[in-house]
Amino acid sequence: MTKQTLSFQAEVAQLLHLVTHSLYSNKEIFLRELISNASDACDKLRFEAINDGGLYEGDTELKVKLAFDKDAKTLTITDNGIGMSAQEAIDHLGTIAKSGTKDFVSKLSGDQKADSQLIGQFGVGFYSGFIVADKITVESRRAGMKETEGVRWTSGGAGDFEVETITRAERGTSVILHLRDDAMDYASSWKLKDIVNKYSDHISLPIVMEKEEWKDGELITPGDEAGGREPGGMVKTGEWETINQASALWTRPKKDISDEQYTEFYKAISHDFEAPLTWTHNRVEGSTEYTQLLYIPAKAPMDLWNRDKKAGIKLYVKRVFIMDDAEALLPTYLRFVKGVVDSNDLPLNVSRELLQESRDVKAIRDGCAKRVLSMLEDLAKHDKLPEPAAPAEGEAAVTDVVSEEDKAAVGKYTKFYAEFGAVLKEGLGEDFANKERLAKLLRFASTSSDTVSVSLADYKARMKEGQDAIYYITADTLAGARNSPQLEVFKKKGIEVLLMTDRVDEWALNFLNEFDGTPMQSVAKGAVDLGKLQDETEKKAAEEAAETLKPLLAKLKEALKGKAEDVRLTSRLVDSPACLVVQDAGMSMQLARMLKQAGQAAPEVKPVLEVNAEHALVKKLDGSVHINDLAHILFDQALIAEGGLPEDPAAYVKRVNALLA
């Protein structure tokens, strides 16, 4: 292949501009990203070499090398991993294959601070090199290919890049950063060692760098350059030294790992700029032995709802990397969890198909799910400060009995739920074994709370005497739920109703019929029955009204034949003339609408029209010459009130205008 110039994918060009202009305050993360990529390339070689040992080409000592040249103004990161072919260089470095890219780019606002946080959710990888370089040259050869089939990729980070074939004796990849004048401090052994120690100490491969000494023969130690000795007095010795611990972080004892090291490891594997919300690190022993290091992010990734996105955690077997995104190790509803599982029992040649069938994998999956739920339960437990105990008679009140650790935990579960609560609800239908634990972790808004903070246990603890169900309503928006006519009698009687507005709620509630022995009841399904909360006078008045208005109900039912399954009086309304409900076992109108919007088949839902016998409009219906038009208007207005649209909006407007005229 002769040299050719190609254009970046449009999203790459925009990302490059953003990287170089928004991340100036945290430049040094470029080295973390490039070392992480180099480590991944070595992991991939080790995995492919399980079936083809010839890929090692006689060199089995995998490592990452750092080298700098102050005169040439370059910093080079080299690995002897899997390498790239020419086509792979074009595909991997000129386009972003990660799902959700276009959605990511569409959210960029030009606000550097906000956009920088978005980059953190997306991960910048290779492109972070342009934070410090005005040109990047990549030289690579894929393991197993001929020396003459190497590739050189070059770009200044603008609109295009050049690719040409080269001869390269070594397999693997060298990323050569041509440093900007204001980034020359990265051509320094002391600076590079400091960054590696801070961000990449956990990398299980050796990260090596050439030793340096002062011209008088004294070896340089970290900090010497900052101590005032002239950098020009240093020379390289020709010996290479390992500058990281070169042991996988999860294999070390917990007591030897600092919170900062845990956090930096998370950032490296997730490409997230923010610290995680919490994590758990455990060695599990028994019939199946494995180590788990699992993190809960602080922010949801942009592609959380992308059905095509692979999600999961990194799988290692006896510290040998096997695969990213091992979705079989966690249930789908926990796809936001990041981390590592290292098994002692799985075979090194394990495949995705084998993962689906393995008994050991099922044990790991169940163990990881339970550990994540335990983390969430702990966050939920500490989400609010405990109330101080009342002092005994004659004793002074205790003003501060809460530890700093507990104070730091306050609000963490609220943050988690705002980001991932809707995904957690999927577990009700997916993870039957943990359904009760999940139900306790759910939070909702309610008619008694403006925030999404009410647990089912909270609700049950303050149920009115005689109340025998947990009442809820689903809607597209919180305002729509809070102002629904179906809540009127509940508000009148001071009965709390949970307000559910996530799109997954309708589906998830099919799997949660009761909580702690108390049935869940939608206020928009079936005839309202408040049981002991409705006094005898109200019941008698309702029975009398039903008898008196029986002829009117028959006329309305006839007028709405084909639109309404039934027309009946209701005691759930106070201020509104009518509302729509469905039968107890029927699909809700909201769920039917959502299915149609998603392009899925949905059964036709014929709702029941319930009318308020005490409303002035209903009282005027009997004997009206406009009974047919009024019946349709009443139905369509009830449909609008619960978030739907009339089947024939023009006919609705025409009827209303005729009556107004």
Secondary structure (DSSP) of 587-599 = PPHHHHHHHHHTT
Rounded average pLDDT over 271-292: 91
pLDDT tens digits, 59-91: 999 999 999 999 999 999 999 999 999 999 988
- d(C-alpha 75, C-alpha 70), whole Å: 8
Return all residues near 253 (Cβ < 8 A) that are at least 6 apart: none
Sequence ranges of the domains in the chain: 4-242, 249-381, 443-523, 537-660
More confident residue, 544 or 164: 164
Is 495 in contact with 464 (CB distance < 8 Å)? yes
Residue 23: what pLDDT? 58
Task: Give the position of tokens 């080269």.
Answer: 166
Q: How do residues 551-568 score in pLDDT, each as one tens digit? A: 888 888 888 888 888 888
Question: Is a pLDDT exceeding 50 seen at residue 56?
Answer: yes
> In the structure, what pLDDT confidence band is assigned to residue 99 with cuts at 50, 70 and 90?
very low
pLDDT score of 27: 82
Give the pair of three-digit tokens for residue 181: 């004048």
208 vs 50, residue with greater confidence: 208
How would you write 250-308 as a 3-class SS string? HHCCHHHCCHHHHHHHHHHHHCCCCCCCEEEEEEECCCCCEEEEEEECCCCCCCCCCCC
CATH of domain 4-242: 3.30.565.10
- The DSSP line for 398-409 is P-----HHHHHH
pLDDT of res. 359: 87
Q: How confident is the model at residue 143 (pLDDT cuts 50, 70, 90)?
A: very high
The two three-digit tokens of residue 372, written as one number: 């994540």
* pLDDT score of 516: 93
Residue with the larger pLDDT of the pair 452 and 99:
452
| Residue 615 three-state SS | coil
Band of pLDDT at residue 658, cut at 50, 70 and 90:
confident
**Section 140-163 average pLDDT:** 93
What backbone torsions phi and psi does residue 367 show, to the nearest 5 degrees?
-65, -40
CATH hierarchy code of domain 537-660 = 1.20.120.790
pLDDT for 117 equals 52
Give residue 20's pLDDT.
67
CATH of domain 443-523: 3.40.50.11260
What mean pLDDT is predicted for residues 468-492? Answer: 89
On the question of pLDDT at 28 being above 80, the answer is yes
User: Tell me, what's the pLDDT at 606?
Assistant: 84
What is the model's pLDDT at position 364?
93
Q: Residue 98: what pLDDT?
A: 47
pLDDT of residue 120: 47
Q: Which of 119-133, 526-540, 596-610 has the lowest mean pLDDT?
A: 526-540
The proportion of the chain whose per-residue pLDDT surpasses 90, expressed as a percent, equals 38
**What pLDDT, on the 0 to 100 scale, is given for residue 223?**
52
What is the rounded average pLDDT of the residues 510-524?
Answer: 91
What Rg, from alpha-carbon coordinates, does the chain have?
32
Dist. CA 119–CA 131, nearest whole Å: 13
Q: In the prediction, which pLDDT does 403 show?
A: 55
What's the whole-number average pLDDT of the chain? Answer: 83
Please tell me the predicted confidence (pLDDT) of residue 107: 58
Q: Does pLDDT of 348 surpass 70?
A: yes
Query: Confidence band (pLDDT; 50, 70, 90) for 126?
Result: confident
Contacting residues for 116 by C-beta, under 8 A, at least 6 apart? 22, 23, 25, 273
pTM: 0.71
Res. 536 pLDDT band, cuts 50 70 90: low
Model confidence band, residue 276 (pLDDT cutoffs 50, 70, 90): very high
Worst-scoring range by mean pLDDT, 40-54, 112-126, 433-447, 475-489?
A: 112-126
Stretch 128-145: mean pLDDT: 93
The more confidently predicted of residues 592 and 82 is: 82
Residues 630-639, mean pLDDT to the nearest whole number: 90
Give 249-381's CATH code, choosing from 1.20.58.100, 1.20.140.160, 3.30.230.80, 3.40.50.1820.
3.30.230.80
Mean pLDDT of 512-540: 78
Could you report how far apart the first and last alpha carbons of the chain are, in Å?
Answer: 79
Between these two residues, 197 and 53, which has the higher pLDDT value? Answer: 53
Question: CA-CA distance, 157 to 104, in Å (whole number)?
Answer: 19
- Is pLDDT of 583 > 50? yes
Q: What pLDDT is attached to residue 100?
A: 44
Q: What is the mean pLDDT of residues 270-277?
A: 86
Query: Looking at the predicted structure, is the pLDDT value of residue 394 above 90?
Result: no
Whether the domain at 249-381 and the domain at 443-523 fall into the same CATH topology: no
pLDDT, tens digit (0-9, with 9 covering 90-100), for 403-454: 555 566 678 999 999 999 999 999 999 999 999 999 999 999 999 988 888 9
Q: What's the pLDDT band for 519 if we cut at 50, 70, 90?
A: very high
Mean pLDDT of 43-67: 93
Q: Which range is most confident: 113-127, 167-181, 504-518, 599-613?
A: 167-181
Q: What mean pLDDT do residues 215-242 have?
A: 65
Residue 435 class from Cβ within 10 Å (0-12 exposed, 13-18 middle, 19+ buried)? middle
Query: How much is the pLDDT for 153?
Result: 95
